[in-house]
Homo-oligomer: A and B are copies of this chain.
């Protein structure tokens, strides 16, 4: 079994730096597009055989060291009782954005086994099909990131409604964050029980806050979820996007692994995060538009700097872009394996 990824998560010695790519199962792969041609995005997420199929594609095609469950971060939000749609050409939309207490009252803390059985089923199929070839990562959106979608009703530019609630009705905001923290914790625990061997918490929109607001209004919930999840014994990765200015706060999350976006030098990030955490990252997804030789140079630079941390898992600094040439993603994975511990 290739457990390099799991050992790196724990800060153990590894023969080479493991690599996987955020959104590695996705539109840049013709094999993914072939599956998606016959099914809409949400149905794909909810059809275990198909979700498992696209999860496995990058393991075969790229040779990455981990698979990550194919799903959407808003799946548990739908299970909480909101109506979710993915209109063509737009981002996700949630009907009736959360703006008052009765709206939060109506939200349930879903039971993953009962309310999202397809997630459990997908994980079971995957563990069987992977035959321990590589570990399987589960994931969830972080409470704050899910809250932004629920309060804004979808994506946002300035997150005014979210910050207004945080600033003007902190009791309501905390009530929502409490329910979301329970949901995230229970959702990831169920994924772990079903068989995922590590979990990643995506805090995609944490970056829109000041360090002060992040520390006061968001970090306590992240810490609570992570400390609960740690009892399950699997590595926990926390990826807070666009947070170059908040790493001092983020190091307190309690996560085993901290994901780093590409907007900061990984060496600088490691200095801020200290020696107690493993780092994951941080190639600019657009660097995959470079030539193979230049991709290799950037890989070497990140590998070299990554050695300063307790451990390093190679990844992009954000999700792989649909326009990415597959051969360059393959070249990236090869370069990480080839040059790690040799730079």
Contact = CB atoms under 8 A, between A and B. Distances in A.
Contacts of A164: 286, 289
Nearest to A215: B265
What copy number does this chain have within its complex? 2
Contacts of A243: 263
A323 interface: yes
A97 interface: no
Given A159-B286, A213-B284, A284-B213, A167 B294 contact: yes
A34 interface: no
A108 interface: no
A211 B265 contact: yes
A35 interface: no
A42 interface: no
Interface in A181-225: 207-213
A244 interface: yes
Chain A residues touching B, range: 35 or more
20 contacts: A159-B286, A160-B286, A160-B289, A160-B321, A163-B284, A164-B286, A164-B289, A168-B289, A207-B263, A209-B263, A210-B262, A210-B287, A211-B268, A244-B245, A244-B263, A245-B245, A245-B265, A245-B269, A246-B264, A248-B268
Top 7 A-B residue pairs of the complex, sorted by shortest distance between their CB atoms? A245-B264, A244-B245, A163-B286, A244-B244, A245-B263, A167-B290, A211-B265
Interface string A261-288: 0111100110000000000000011110
Given A164-B286, A167-B289, 17 more contacts: A158-B285, A159-B286, A160-B286, A167-B286, A167-B290, A209-B284, A210-B284, A211-B263, A211-B268, A212-B265, A212-B301, A213-B284, A244-B244, A244-B245, A245-B245, A245-B268, A246-B264
A242 interface: yes
Nearest to A214: B263
Contacts of A269: 245
B264 A244 contact: yes
